[in-house]
Amino acid sequence: MEVRAWEYDEFPPFEDEVEGATWLDTTGDEMGVRYIPNVEYECVDGLSRVLQVLVPSSRNAKAPRADRPATCTYPCVVYVQGSAWMPQDVYGNLPCIARLAERGYVVAVVQYRDSSVATFPAPVQDARNAVRFMRTHAAEYAVDPAHMVVMGDSSGGHTAVYAGIMHDDDTPANLFPGTSAEVSCIVNLYGSTDLTFDDSNPCTVNHNLPDSPEGMEMGGINLREDTAARKLLSVRCNIDENTQIAPVLNFHGTKDRTVNTRCSVLLHQRLVETGHDSTLYLLRGADHGGPEFWTPQVLDIVDAFIQKHLN
């Protein structure tokens, strides 16, 4: 065989008879994922925030590299990793999130400004700027900019849904003027979307106090006394018949000890009663997150929901 820079299509396959070998067919459409770490998408007041970008790749549909463009584009899911609005571990759940990328989605995992450096609505602004960044840099990451989704879990679910109702394109919060942050649909995994009832965080004994996660997110205030601030942070209280919001898919475990299941139930009910598109799945016995939310069954539902609303 000549040693040279072979093109794939012209490279001769190995076809020798090998005793004891088993031959397996491939199609070239088997999907893998290329991981691009720590992509800066914004720098606010000297504070850099980054994305973990997962790009689908196969033999027939190659991910982009410095020496070549992508051979096709994919819908993009901007995923907000939950953390009780505190510093995030944006790496720990990547193996599960990669299962979504394997289905043909570019996934950008958002690092937001946590409550130690900025207060609400900073995470929501960050999520929307992440959507804008991925649209602006679509060619670099094989993104179809017309097909964007926002998704998140826990405080990230809160952020994802809020990002669907906070339309701030014409404000200084928009770091990419002229680029839309609107999405085709929203996926909420056990989001902390409602702080209005006493047991909305069943295991948080300081719930709504200044040193609670939600109290710190609102600037270290007592949300038990400041009902206006508590309602402002609660997504359900900011939705009415005139709210512009993309279709929402909600998942919540029935034994969630961190965020009461009723948060997603009440959000779903509010969306439906105000004429919006909402779907709710309750996972029997599931706690706050875990592998139950990344099964083939759940991913099939997420995949079908996204494809329905992209089309």
Confidence at residue 42, expressed as pLDDT on a 0 to 100 scale? 97
pTM of this structure:
0.95
pLDDT of 161 over the 90 cut: yes
Confidence at residue 62, expressed as pLDDT on a 0 to 100 scale? 74
pLDDT above 90 covers a percentage of the chain that reads 94
Count of alpha carbons within 13 Å of 119, Cβ hemisphere only? 12
Mean pLDDT, rounded, for 111-133:
98
Mean pLDDT, rounded, for 286-311:
97
Residue with tokens 């992209």: 310
Structural domain includes residue 217: yes
Task: State the Cα–Cα distance between residues 223 and 227, nearest whole angstrom.
Answer: 6
Which two three-digit tokens encode residue 194?
Answer: 């409602």
pLDDT of 212 over the 90 cut: yes
Mean pLDDT, rounded, for 247-269:
98
Structural domain includes residue 256: yes
Structural domain includes residue 36: yes
Segment 171-196, tens digit of pLDDT: 999 999 999 999 999 999 999 999 99
pLDDT of 1 over the 90 cut: no
**Structural domain boundaries, residue 84:** 30-310
Beta bridge partners of residue 35, listed in sequence order: 54
Q: In total, how many domains does the chain have?
A: 1
Structural domain includes residue 289: yes
Structural domain includes residue 7: no
Segment 9-32, tens digit of pLDDT: 999 999 999 999 999 999 999 999
Q: What CATH number is attached to the domain comprising 244?
A: 3.40.50.1820
Structural domain includes residue 215: yes
Structural domain includes residue 13: no
Confidence at residue 53, expressed as pLDDT on a 0 to 100 scale? 98
The torsion defined by the Cα of 88, 90, 96 and 102, in degrees rounded to 10, comes to: 150
Instruction: Report helix, strand or coil for 101.
Output: helix
- Whether the CA torsion 213, 219, 220, 223 is positive or negative: it is negative
Task: Give the mean pLDDT of the chain.
Answer: 96
Looking at residue 35, what DSSP letter applies? E
Segment 59-71, tens digit of pLDDT: 988 767 767 677 7
Locate the DSSP E strands across 83-142: 106-110
Structural domain includes residue 14: no
